[in-house]
Chain A
Amino acid sequence: MSKSSDKALNILRALPRVCLANIRDNPGSKQRCRRGRGQHGGDKHGDGNKGSGQRQNFMRLGYETGNNPFYLRFPQEKYYKGHHLRRQYPPLSMLTLQTLIDTNRIDTSKPIDLVSILNTGLYKLYPDQHQFGVHLTDEGADIFNAKINLEVQWANELVIAAIERAGGVITTSYYDPHSLQAMINTVKFFQKGVPIPRRMMPPPDAIEYYSDPSNRGYLADPDKISEERLALAQKYGYNLPKIEEDNNYDMLMERKDPRQIFYGLHPGWVVNLKDKVILKPKEEELLQYYAS
């Protein structure tokens, strides 16, 4: 062994052992997040010479430095024109709804509406992002087996058939954003101490959907809805359970007024959660305003 390595080993014996307290990162393994000046990485700071890289003015996507860009070169059909203004209905599958019922998150002995779905905390709704309620999708329609009185904002034919085959009833109904805001967090809304708002009528482009008996719209004629129930049962080939002979007939027939947003609570009432009282207006003008 050479003299110098002998010396080095002797020094090592005297030095403290390597431990977490006295090791450091490999040089260059950590990148500094500061733009050094002068000798500490100055000059061009690693950004190259001239152009977008140095000036950090990156061109927008699709820009071709003055050419007519490719994405504007040909005429187009605007399929998605105004998409940011359209009503959105965030989906909730029938499988998820069945899971909510199985795990005791939703009480089937009472009518199920948007409030009871939102109260589970497992479905979120943002009215300020043009979301207008539940779109019940048909995933899990085959396994669905719960007799419920359901109210959603959008449903297709298969979903309606699956609900009615199981002996339940379904209604599609519209809520305006102010009503939705009250329904999202009922405790917070009642604590505000403002009257329960009256539900607005659907906008012109939605009124057709919500007054169509085949969609089980809440503005449709109930007689036509019962006709449609029978027609759908014949189309899909199942025996329509008679809700008239059902034990839960009263629960299944419970419906909201087109101006009402909570079951049993009239618009215009103020709910006081602290004293557990309800304030009801008596003035004729207010009664007329909140009347259906």
Chain B
Amino acid sequence: MFIIPKLRTLSNRLPALIPSSVSIQSRNSSFKSSLFLEDVGKINTPYEVTKDPIDWSYVERVLPLKTVPPPIKKDSYPSGWKPQSDELADRPYFIKRTKNHMLPCYLHITQRGIKRTTLLKNIEGNIWLLEKELKEFLQPQVFQILRSQVNEFVGYIRINGDHVNAVKYFLEQKGNYITKNVSCY
């Protein structure tokens, strides 16, 4: 910020070497150390300031929403996505949708694509009963004994292997809610 004023005072002190009419070119070391742009004065380019509501409606059309909108109730959803069920009372467990209104069931691939685990999150209520029912549902589909981890405090169940679509199908059968071929985000 202060480099340029210093240089100017130096040129004032040395009138014999540098004539005052010659301005010293300032080469700032960085963008941050350079001076602010000066006020350019009145702009001569003519322009029109409008407050047309029709024009502004087009501006509002291109502005993004600040929150994720709630889904609208429809008769059918061709993509296979379904909203959260309305009757949620008197259930032993509950799985909260994500902010994008999707089921929080994910596939985790680790060890360079070798290990696959299914993670079901946002579980509230009797997580142990859900794990038992999930195991009963998934066990006939695998050869080995199904391994799973329950974290009651955080509220997730981690299952060994890729069972994402099966878990989503299971939850749909339970009335929670999504078909297997839907694309999630």
- Give bound CA distance, A95 to B181, whole Å: 9
Name the distance in Å between A53's Cβ and chain B's nearest Cβ. Answer: 23
- Give bound CA distance, A116 to B64, whole Å: 8
Contact of A121 (CB < 8 Å), options: B51, B62, B64: B64
B residues less than 8 Å from A143 (CB atoms): 78-80
**Are the C-beta atoms of B101 and A103 separated by less than 8 Å?**
yes
A residues less than 8 Å from B184 (CB atoms): 99
| Contact count A vs B, C-beta below 8 Å | 102
Q: Does B14 contact A (CB under 8 A)?
A: no
Give chain B interface residues in 59-80, CB to chain A under 8 Å.
59, 61-65, 68-72, 74, 77-80
- Give bound CA distance, A277 to B52, whole Å: 8
B residues less than 8 Å from A263 (CB atoms): 58, 61-62
**Are the C-beta atoms of B69 and A104 separated by less than 8 Å?**
yes
**Are the C-beta atoms of A286 and B79 separated by less than 8 Å?**
no
Contact of A187 (CB < 8 Å), options: B47, B64, B181: B64
Report the interface size class on chain B.
Answer: 35 or more
Give chain B interface residues in 70-100, CB to chain A under 8 Å.
70-72, 74, 77-81, 100
Given A95-B183, A264-B55, A265-B59, the answer on whether A102 and B77 have CB atoms closer than 8 Å is yes
- Give bound CA distance, A93 to B71, whole Å: 20
A residues less than 8 Å from B69 (CB atoms): 104-105
**Are the C-beta atoms of A119 and B46 separated by less than 8 Å?**
no
**Are the C-beta atoms of B59 and A99 separated by less than 8 Å?**
no
Name the distance in Å between B70's Cβ and chain A's nearest Cβ. Answer: 7
Q: Which residue of A lies closest to B44 (CB)?
A: A283
Name the distance in Å between A288's Cβ and chain B's nearest Cβ. Answer: 14
Given A104-B72, A263-B61, A277-B50, the answer on whether A98 and B79 have CB atoms closer than 8 Å is yes
| B-contact bits for A281-292, CB 8 A (1 contact / 0 none) | 111001000000
Q: Does A37 contact B (CB under 8 A)?
A: no
B residues less than 8 Å from A280 (CB atoms): 47-48, 50
Most buried by A among B62, B69, B101: B62
A residues less than 8 Å from B101 (CB atoms): 103
Contact of B45 (CB < 8 Å), options: A122, A186, A262, A286: A286
Give chain A interface residues in 256-292, CB to chain B under 8 Å.
262-265, 270-271, 273, 276-283, 286
- Give bound CA distance, A95 to B77, whole Å: 11
| B-contact bits for A89-124, CB 8 A (1 contact / 0 none) | 000010110110111110000100001100101100
Given A277-B49, A278-B50, A280-B47, the answer on whether A104 and B70 have CB atoms closer than 8 Å is yes
Given A277-B49, A281-B47, A283-B45, the answer on whether A96 and B64 have CB atoms closer than 8 Å is no
- Give bound CA distance, A194 to B71, whole Å: 36
Q: Which residue of A lies closest to B68 (CB)?
A: A105
**Are the C-beta atoms of B58 and A265 separated by less than 8 Å?**
yes
- 11 cross-chain CB contacts under 8 A: A102-B71, A104-B69, A110-B61, A140-B79, A263-B61, A264-B55, A276-B56, A280-B50, A282-B46, A282-B48, A286-B45
